[in-house]
Structure 1
Amino acid sequence: MAHRTAAGHKPGDSRVRDARAPGLARVGAVSHNSVCLDGGLQTELDAAARQIAAHFGAGQQPALRCCERLLEAAERQHSELHLNFFNKPLTFRLESWRGVEECGVEDALARLSLAKSQQFVQITSATRLELLLSEEQAKPEPEQKLTKAKIGGLDKEIQLVEESMDYALGYRPLPKGIKVSRGLLLYGASGCGKSLVCEAMCAAAQARDSKVQLIRINSGEIYSKFLGETEQKLAAHFERAYAHYPHPTLLLLEDVHTLCPKQDAGSDLVKRVSLAMLSLLDQLSSGSRPESSRTFLLATSSQIDALHPSIRRAGRLDCELELGAPAPAARQQILHCLLQPLQHNIQESELEQIASITHGYVGADLANLVYTATLATLKAEARALELRDLQSALTQVKPSAMREVLIESPNVRWSDIGGQAELRLALQQAIEWPLLHADKFQRLGIKPPRGVLMFGPPGCSKTMIAKALATESQLNFLSIKGPELFSMWVGESERAVREVFRKARQVAPAIVFFDEIDAIGGERAEGSTSGSSVKERVLTQLLTELDGVEALHNVTIVAATNRPDMIDKALLRPGRIDRVCYVGLPEPEARREILHIKLRAMPLAENVVDIVDRLVTLTAGYSGAEIQAVCHEAALSALEQSFEAEAVHWRHFEAALQMVQPRTSPELLRLYQEYIKK
């Protein structure tokens, strides 16, 4: 036999492509396995070898020697070889050849079989193509197990869960007479790390004992349309746990509130499933079955208020652990864990800086922050992550809890507000000082002010000051308008107030700004009983939230009103809204600052100083909003005269002053003065 390179063609066809065969290298018409022809036709070596053997003799060796002589002659004469393959005439022209060991050829021929040859198929629209990977490619990547060391900011919570699990699974002995808790409920906002803690507990249990059985109960897959099947599926999971006895079993049940919601919030199916779940929990904790002595249930919920109260009583899920929004130190640990596998040039001091301004961010939000920052580096160039990438990502990633409430993202700074220096200082003392100098307040044994009330004429920048306060302090800002809290449904208005403060606690430190607070905090009528109207019930709920049993830590109330005399006195006592600030009409110096801020982007035909001096004199009694309206109307007046106007003249300001008149009545100003004297 020979090792050859051949080119073949059918009449009118393209040339044959070379193919490499194991042990024979490149061959043409005589090939191990196959030669790929244009058009998809393939030939088998044994068929060609049989034709050659039949032509030159029955013996294989003589046939091979004759074949070599034939190929030598064909190469010298540049002649062609003709073979008939499955009734298809094939013509080959020999280009080159070389001999190989005969024994190697014999072994190769002995192993060949037409039964193993490839089949010829026709490709149609119904053909399915499947990509077959090599054994090396098909190997799955090694699974990265989640360990306790890879979770940041939850060390104390993980320790508590692990202790409860160890007692329930029998790894730690308890004194006689003490009943073991066989269920623990982890609850908190979405993204706070409940599932991570569960996965870490699974990894810790399996690392300690390889015989630990893990059973995950997916609440979404439990429900069935057939009567009784849902309860059977639920019971089957517990039976699997008992069947594994005496080895320990860890049951994981996420979103338990979907299986056991409040009775008034579900259908008959939900009620049946709730009763079945309560019965299974009673069986688990009562010890009526010895197999339950090495079983532990770890449940999670992101809506603790929607959970059936009966499931939380003693003997069922009697151990509860809340995972709240992490503190700055915990956020720094989380960021450190997230950045550990990445290439970055961020120092610990810079991480501390990011952690100090990510108020209300839970673990999932911080992971999203790092992911967004990493994408920015990939889009620009392949470089290490830097502090500026995280700072840029902060403008895109917000706390997930803030997406569920009515919020406003103000972009107002102190430099955008003219005057009000005393009010600015009072607000900074009430809000920024307790955050920046908390140790000083604690050393002196004083509590920071709980709330600030701003009152004054309309248009004096009360709302704008609150926005600037939120922007400069970098705190989460919840903007609530009084009338928006009222609902026609009984109890919904009070629930809305509770929800606002719940979110504020969750994303603390935060500012809750009540605009037009007189709409919900109006003075109660004499002789009326508490709760006689919706407005009074909302006020009572607001008072309870301000200084009730649940502490309002790192949440500051900022309120604004035009009618302070209509606000209930109980709302303004010390410990609730204890700072009252008057935001009056701007003084001449404040009007000058407002005009400079407004006119710095407006082209003027005359000297800006002269225009400002004249406007300061002529706008006495104007509010800040009315001064801005004068500048706005002057620019519109210039456009009315000509769309080609390039500057605003003094005559345009004179026309604007005629159109915009001060609207703060003397009676309202006297009311404010009398209120201040009280």
Structure 2
Amino acid sequence: MFDSPFGMITLEKNIFTLQKCFTPKRLDSNKRDLSIDGKFALLQLNQEFKCVCKLQARNDLILLEHFQLDPSVIVFSNTIKGSDGLPSKSIISNCRYSNVKCITIFPLVVNLKKISITLIFEDVRNVTLWRNQMGTLCNIVKDMMKMFTITNKCIVSLENLNVSQRCGLCYIIIHSIGHKNMVGKVDSTTNIFISSIVSRERFEQLQNDNVQKLGGLDNPYQTLKEIVSYHSKFGRIAKDNKLKACQQVLLIGPPGCGKTSLVHLVASDCQATLVNLLGPEVCRPSPGDTELQLRKVFEHAIELAQESGCCILLLDEVDTVPQTTRAFTQLLLLLEQVDRTPGLVVVATTSRPYALPASARRPGRLETEIYIGVPSEKERAEILATLLSDTCPMSLNLCKRVAHLTPGFVGADLALLCQHVALDKLNRQGDERDSQDIFLAAIAKMRPCSLRSGLGVVTTLPAALSDIGGLYRVKQEVRAAVEWPLIHSEAFRRLGLPQPRGVLLYGPPGCAKTSLARALAASTNTTFLSVSAAELYSPFVGDAERSVVELFHRARLGAPTILFIDEIDALVGSRGDRQRGVQERVLSALLTEMDGVGIKLETLSSVQHQENNVLVVAATNRPDLLDDALLRPGRFDKIVYVPPPDETSRKDILNVLTRDMPLAEDVDLHSVALATQLCSGADLTNLCREAGLCALTEEGMDVQQVKNKHFQKVLDKLKPSLTQSQIDWYTSYKR
């Protein structure tokens, strides 16, 4: 063992430097001379790898503290579980920048009688070719091995030999030479036993230990693993006995939910070879090239399945393959032929299953469908714990807290969130803020990918019901209908109480119906989507109905969601009016979605298949225009009248509105409340704003307070937006 490690420089690859190691004549001025010239030695490069070389002293080395060696024969310690002694880590990448820490001299080199080896070929076609010519292959390998000095559990790189390139060999793995702690050479009498032949592609995939761990996907993982494991173990037996097992899977889920990562994880755990084909990569500009590319990929996957016993062909984003061309027809024909190849499993992924024709999803093609929904709160906590297990471990309670605050987030969103938190911690070294504060700040800046743009997406500002003055009875009713089922869900399940599907707020204009819906969403940490008739209607036939379906689809992706429909009377109306054809179709689509008939299985959580993940809150000032089918229980279960503010409520509203406004001592809000009969909450908001502007106008920009005279001046011009006849109408309509 050296006091300090020597550096290592890799020699140029050629036949003359094969397995050579050039060292300075004196390794160190503080060490005794070693008679090592011309002897074989074991050089320790790191904890896992050692190199077998023939030492030669050199006085002309420019770098006196470096070994110059050819790492053609590397000894490894760790092997891949269940792989017949293959090294568990890449030799080239782990030995490229190593240092020589220790030298062990071998006293002699023995002639080997028998060795056990595995051959690694550059291409899977070479594996198929040489499996039928084992006798010739043994002779070629024996001639190659005569040039090397080997030991137990080592890998021989053949980059220096031209003959290896001609036959397609790249590595020879030595399992046993029949002697312990010794090196030996192969001669003409040595018996060579080839235990297995492996392609380089499969070898490198078996060595890959960077497969991402996943959380919250237990059910899809087990389902897919059972399918792949069956073919890995019993594929050929089932084929011989004419037993047909599932070989084609369609993996469905929203973008970023972990479909591709799941396939990679299953392939790694089952030690199946993986061939990845991205849908857009299939397309070629020249006629016929796309079909040719598809055939090549399937042929390659078939060869790998014949080699390893099991191969997964991943068709990522299969919905992007053009369906109106010969390419898709070619894909369907190739899918039909998959059953003829035992061990080949085709897994296609898509986030748009409705974009695939029924011909692709029938038995014999993509016959088994596995759905991955938007993760539930429990699954999000599992995903966070997995993502942070290696980089930033945090408590289970914090994982649950963050999971509660991230409705609608999929795995990719949570991974990005964790990345932002890690970068924030790195930038704020020495900051005393705890992890929860950092996560809360990162969550406030993020939005799940399914809700970043599109129909109904709004920014929910922090709000609370206490910011809305008055409406004490209304607040209690909407809390019971909206907050309680979400916050006290266990109590509702215990009593068998279903969540309401919808809440209808009706009342005069300007009485805080919209503000109530926004405050409810903010107070319950739910996704809030808002839409009006102007956003849904389109001049094209069918577009409005499709927008309704898309809106509910987005709401379910972000569940739990409060879907707010403002001025619903302008959107759907009543079916009694024959002149409203578009409204009738939109109403039918809305009723279908609210009843849950339009729920697609792929949009649901993979754990909690709840019907009431979406609560529809609608507002209208013309409830008489709504169809009776909307107002029955099971759709809008709760119908809440939002009345105009009375005297007490007006004073409460004024207190809230002037909370940040400096008022003079002569301002009496009670008197202002008395003087604002028939004023709505919107009128009172306008009153306070105009009073402030009046103060700025009369007393200049340096004014410090708003005085009573400013309020009185505005009151003199104020015209209430409500009339007594309106209030009487709503009172008489009250259901």
TM interval, short-chain normalised: 0.7 to 0.9
SS in 2 for 1:340: coil
Matches within 5 A, 1:340-379: 340-344=389-393, 346-379=394-427
Matches within 5 A, 1:372-451: 372-381=420-429, 386-405=435-454, 406-411=456-461, 412-451=463-502
One-letter code of the match for 1:618? Answer: A
Aligned to 1:297: 346
Cα distance change, pair 109–509 in 1 and its aligned pair in 2 (3 A) = closer
Contact persistence 2:573–2:625 (CA under 8 A): yes
Are 2:217 and 1:256 equivalent residues in the alignment? no
Aligned to 1:152: 215
| Distance across 2 between alignment mates of 1:158 and 1:519 | 46
Aligned to 1:81: none
How far residue 304 of structure 1 moved from its aligned partner, in angstroms, is 1.6
Aligned to 2:709: 651
| Distance across 1 between alignment mates of 2:310 and 2:662 | 79
Contact persistence 2:510–2:683 (CA under 8 A): yes
SS in 2 for 1:359: coil
| Distance across 1 between alignment mates of 2:291 and 2:95 | 45
Are 2:380 and 1:331 equivalent residues in the alignment? yes
Aligned to 1:309: 358
How far residue 241 of structure 1 moved from its aligned partner, in angstroms, is 2.6
Aligned to 2:589: 541
Bigger helix fraction: 1
One-letter code of the match for 1:408? Answer: V
- Residues 565-574 or 303-312, more deviating: 303-312
Aligned to 2:697: 640
Aligned to 1:557: 616
Contact persistence 2:486–2:524 (CA under 8 A): no
| Distance across 2 between alignment mates of 1:232 and 1:385 | 56
* Partner deviation per Cα, 1:515-571 (whole Å, 9 max, x = no partner): 01001220122578xxx7221101100000011425542211100011111111111
- Residues 553-562 or 252-261, more deviating: 252-261
Aligned to 1:573: 632
Cα distance change, pair 109–668 in 1 and its aligned pair in 2 (3 A) = closer
Contact persistence 2:25–2:58 (CA under 8 A): no
How far residue 453 of structure 1 moved from its aligned partner, in angstroms, is 0.6
| Distance across 2 between alignment mates of 1:661 and 1:372 | 51
The correspondence for 1:166, drawn from 229, 239, 249, is: 229
Are 2:670 and 1:613 equivalent residues in the alignment? yes
Contact persistence 1:182–1:297 (CA under 8 A): yes
Aligned to 2:330: 276
How far residue 641 of structure 1 moved from its aligned partner, in angstroms, is 1.2
Matches within 5 A, 1:121-140: 135-136=96-97
How far residue 107 of structure 1 moved from its aligned partner, in angstroms, is 8.1
Structure 2 regions of 5+ residues with no counterpart? 1-22, 28-56, 63-93, 101-203, 600-610
SS in 2 for 1:293: coil
| Distance across 2 between alignment mates of 1:575 and 1:390 | 38
How far residue 433 of structure 1 moved from its aligned partner, in angstroms, is 1.3
Contact persistence 2:678–2:723 (CA under 8 A): no
Aligned to 1:58: none
* Partner deviation per Cα, 1:188-212 (whole Å, 9 max, x = no partner): 1111010110110221232xxxxx4
* Partner deviation per Cα, 1:112-139 (whole Å, 9 max, x = no partner): xxxxxxxxxxxxxxxxxxxxx9941799
How far residue 305 of structure 1 moved from its aligned partner, in angstroms, is 1.9
Aligned to 1:663: 721
* Partner deviation per Cα, 1:316-359 (whole Å, 9 max, x = no partner): 00111111111111111111111111244x32122212212211
One-letter code of the match for 2:694? Answer: S
One-letter code of the match for 2:523? Answer: E
Cα distance change, pair 614–258 in 1 and its aligned pair in 2 (3 A) = same
The correspondence for 2:285, drawn from 216, 221, 225, is: 225
State the TM-score, normalized to the length of structure 1.
0.74
The correspondence for 2:520, drawn from 453, 460, 469, is: 469
The correspondence for 1:186, drawn from 247, 251, 257, is: 251
Matches within 5 A, 1:581-620: 581-608=640-667, 611-620=668-677
One-letter code of the match for 2:299? Answer: E
One-letter code of the match for 1:331? Answer: R
Aligned to 1:102: none
How far residue 647 of structure 1 moved from its aligned partner, in angstroms, is 1.5
Contact persistence 2:487–2:524 (CA under 8 A): no
| Distance across 1 between alignment mates of 2:547 and 2:209 | 43
Count of aligned residue pairs for this structure pair: 530
Aligned to 1:236: 296
Cα distance change, pair 295–260 in 1 and its aligned pair in 2 (3 A) = farther
Are 2:530 and 1:487 equivalent residues in the alignment? no
Are 2:480 and 1:519 equivalent residues in the alignment? no
Structure 1 regions of 5+ residues with no counterpart? 1-20, 26-105, 112-132, 207-211, 264-270
State the TM-score, normalized to the length of structure 2.
0.68
SS in 2 for 1:196: helix
- Higher radius of gyration, 1 or 2: 1
One-letter code of the match for 1:278? Answer: L
One-letter code of the match for 2:228? Answer: M
Contact persistence 1:377–1:385 (CA under 8 A): no
The runs of 4+ residues in structure 1 deviating greater than 3 Å are 21-25, 106-111, 137-140, 168-178, 382-385
How far residue 671 of structure 1 moved from its aligned partner, in angstroms, is 2.1
